[in-house]
A = this chain, B = another copy of it.
């Protein structure tokens, strides 16, 4: 237990709550401003008093009230983040990247989930604005089609940075993956392995990430002089396991079934894998597989799944850096879009 010198005890008793800067001032017979300066390591305070202040502060277990400081300074040192969800590996890794860089820059991070719901996204914006965050990083919900609610943020001159899922307009800043190239790389790889009828599990096309992957797929086919066959494209609204299973079953019904699948997500590809297993179709010999996201479970399936890594950690870093830049040159900052290069992880499911 903590024991205080007799002289401080009386004061310490009085506030069984929490020592304030004025409490320290009284005890030390100094002014609050001096205490403040000492605590913040101002240069023009004698080492001697700094020492005394530090000691008493430790003794009373002084904790600065950031709220008060924030109010006074007009800066909260808080950064708001809105993610659609935290399933899978991608968004958690982004969050990790964000936290690392943000806390290094002295920011606390407040995370909200929109649950893929515009309404909650709006609420999150309000909550973060109310909490006086100094910036907002957001990845759009699947159901977000208009961007009215972000106007508020801009009006208050609060830096707004999108990541991964962002509006297609050029007037906003953000960091995205080169989804087109990622898809292109995956499909090219399948083609190089000799596949010639490559099916595609596509995500909801109003999200640019998925439409870009779709385009990457098409362009790779085109580069190899192959036609694109509508029958081979399945648009899955949610990229879930059972959707992948269903699509796979339908593809197997075709007169000319595919010899490879490229999925815009790993999960439906795993679903497909299961159907193939059940039907005794060999992967990759009969049908090769490649997914997107590089989820950890891709190394847990048999065979291991080839997949495109989305650079989550890096994306988090870049997003915060973009925010910090905007904070500096608040007004004259032209919207800027950072594009990260994807990484193809080739595994057993596509090597033949």
Q: Measuring CB to CB, which residues of chain A are less than 8 angstroms from any residue of chain B?
A: 2, 17-18, 61, 63-68, 70-71, 76, 78, 86-87, 89, 92, 95-96, 99, 103, 108-113, 126-127, 129-132, 152, 155-157, 241, 267, 270-271, 273-274, 277, 295-297, 299-302
Contact = CB atoms under 8 A, between A and B. Distances in A.
A274 B301 CA distance: 8
A127 B103 CA distance: 10
A64 B129 CA distance: 9
B108 A110 contact: yes
Given A66-B131, A67-B67, A241-B300, 14 more contacts: A17-B157, A18-B156, A63-B130, A78-B131, A86-B92, A86-B96, A87-B296, A267-B300, A270-B297, A274-B300, A274-B302, A277-B302, A297-B297, A300-B301
Given A92-B92, A110-B110, A113-B96, A299 B241 contact: yes
A99 B87 contact: no
A68 B87 CA distance: 35
For this chain, the copies found in one complex come to 2
A71 B127 CA distance: 17
A65 B302 CA distance: 54
Contact of A67 (B61, B70, B96, B112): B70
A99 B113 contact: yes
Contact of A65 (B71, B157, B299, B301): B71
B71 A129 contact: no
Contacts of A126: 63
Given A300-B241, A301-B300, A302-B277, A132 B95 contact: no
Instruction: Enumerate the 10 nearest inter-chain pairs by beta-carbon distance, A residue then B residue, closest first.
Output: A297-B297, A270-B300, A86-B92, A66-B130, A277-B302, A67-B71, A67-B132, A111-B111, A63-B129, A67-B70
Contacts of A76: 67
20 contacts: A61-B152, A63-B129, A63-B156, A64-B130, A65-B132, A66-B130, A67-B70, A67-B76, A68-B71, A71-B71, A78-B131, A86-B96, A95-B113, A99-B113, A108-B131, A110-B111, A111-B111, A274-B302, A277-B302, A301-B301
A342 B126 CA distance: 37
Contacts of A130: 63-66
Contacts of A270: 297, 300
Contacts of A78: 131
A132 B66 contact: yes
A241 B304 CA distance: 13
A287 to B, nearest CB: 15
A61 B155 contact: yes
A40 to B, nearest CB: 13
Contacts of A109: 110-112
A302 to B, nearest CB: 5
A299 to B, nearest CB: 7
Contacts of A89: 87
A90 B111 CA distance: 17
Contacts of A300: 241, 267, 270-271, 273-274, 297, 300-301
A108 B92 contact: no
A277 B237 CA distance: 33
Contacts of A108: 110, 127, 131
A273 B304 CA distance: 12
A77 to B, nearest CB: 9
